């Protein structure tokens, strides 16, 4: 975590928190921060959180770290996530643009944006999976996302190990997914 976020947490709480508490605090702050060029924030915090969680999950599941800026038509879609294709409906185009103005993302480069820290994306993807579970998504569906059967044995997908660790940190027994 950035030292500034650690200091902000200390100021707000008068103590150091767990890694999960620090990450939640950091993500909430960064979601609230909008680039100065965005004069009007079009997204309520809850809607912005839903959007960044979904984008984080899409990035990790597709193994594409970049998000294409819709205005740049010259950039190949094969190398980037197209946000209109992954955000849940309905997401108006002005809100799609507004989500990328959050401080969670690095500045645009070559028509692309990406999460500033991979750890934020991993944490937010875990939050996305928890949201799915809380909306009655079957455990077996989550199991198919996190695990693969290799030579008759279930094994965690290496690219999703950090996401599973965040789920474990959220008191979700990931092993239970294997046997339910």
**pLDDT for the residue numbered 99:** 87
Omega before residue 90 within 30° of 0, cis: yes
64: which 2 tokens?
């594409």
154 forms beta bridges with: 149
**pLDDT for the residue numbered 179:** 46
**pLDDT for the residue numbered 79:** 80
**pLDDT for the residue numbered 178:** 43
From its phi and psi, is residue 62 left (phi > 0), alpha (psi between -120 and 50) or beta?
alpha
Task: Please give the full DSSP string across 66-92, using - where no structure is assigned.
Answer: EEE-TT-TTS-GGGSB-HHHHSPSP--
Residue with tokens 């990406």: 114
- CA 134 from chain center: how many Å? 17
**pLDDT for the residue numbered 95:** 87
- Tell which residue, 50, 60, 26, has the closest CA to residue 128: 50
Please report, for residues 20, 111, 136, 146, the alpha-carbon distance to residue 106 in angstroms, rounded to integers and kept in the order given: 22, 12, 34, 27
**pLDDT for the residue numbered 106:** 86
Q: How far apart are CA 7 and CA 17, in angstroms?
A: 11
pLDDT by residue for the chain (180 residues), tens only, comes to 578 888 999 999 999 888 889 999 999 988 888 765 555 666 888 899 999 999 999 999 999 988 887 655 555 556 888 888 899 888 888 888 888 888 898 877 777 889 988 999 999 999 999 999 888 999 889 889 999 988 999 899 988 999 988 887 665 444 454 444
Q: Where does residue 56 rank: exposed (0-12), middle (13-18), buried (19+ CB within 10 A)?
A: buried
**Residue 75: phi, psi to the nearest 5?**
-85, 135
């Amino acid at each position: 975590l950035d030292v500034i976020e650690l200091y902000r947490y200390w100021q707000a709480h008068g103590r150091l928190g767990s890694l999960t508490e620090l990450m939640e605090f950091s993500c909430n702050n960064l979601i609230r921060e909008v680039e100065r060029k965005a004069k009007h924030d079009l997204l309520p915090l809850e809607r912005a959180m839903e959007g960044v969680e979904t984008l984080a999950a899409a990035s990790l599941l597709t193994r594409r770290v970049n998000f294409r800026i819709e205005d740049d038509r010259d950039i190949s879609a094969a190398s980037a996530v197209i946000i209109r294709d992954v955000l849940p409906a309905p997401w108006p185009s002005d809100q799609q643009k507004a989500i990328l103005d959050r401080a969670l993302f690095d500045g645009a480069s070559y028509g692309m944006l990406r999460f500033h820290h991979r750890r934020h994306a991993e944490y937010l993807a875990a939050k996305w999976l928890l949201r799915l579970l809380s909306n009655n998504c079957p455990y077996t569906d989550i199991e198919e996302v996190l695990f693969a059967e290799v030579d008759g044995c279930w094994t965690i997908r290496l690219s999703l190990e950090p996401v599973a660790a965040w789920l474990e940190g959220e008191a979700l027994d990931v092993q239970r997914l294997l046997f339910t």
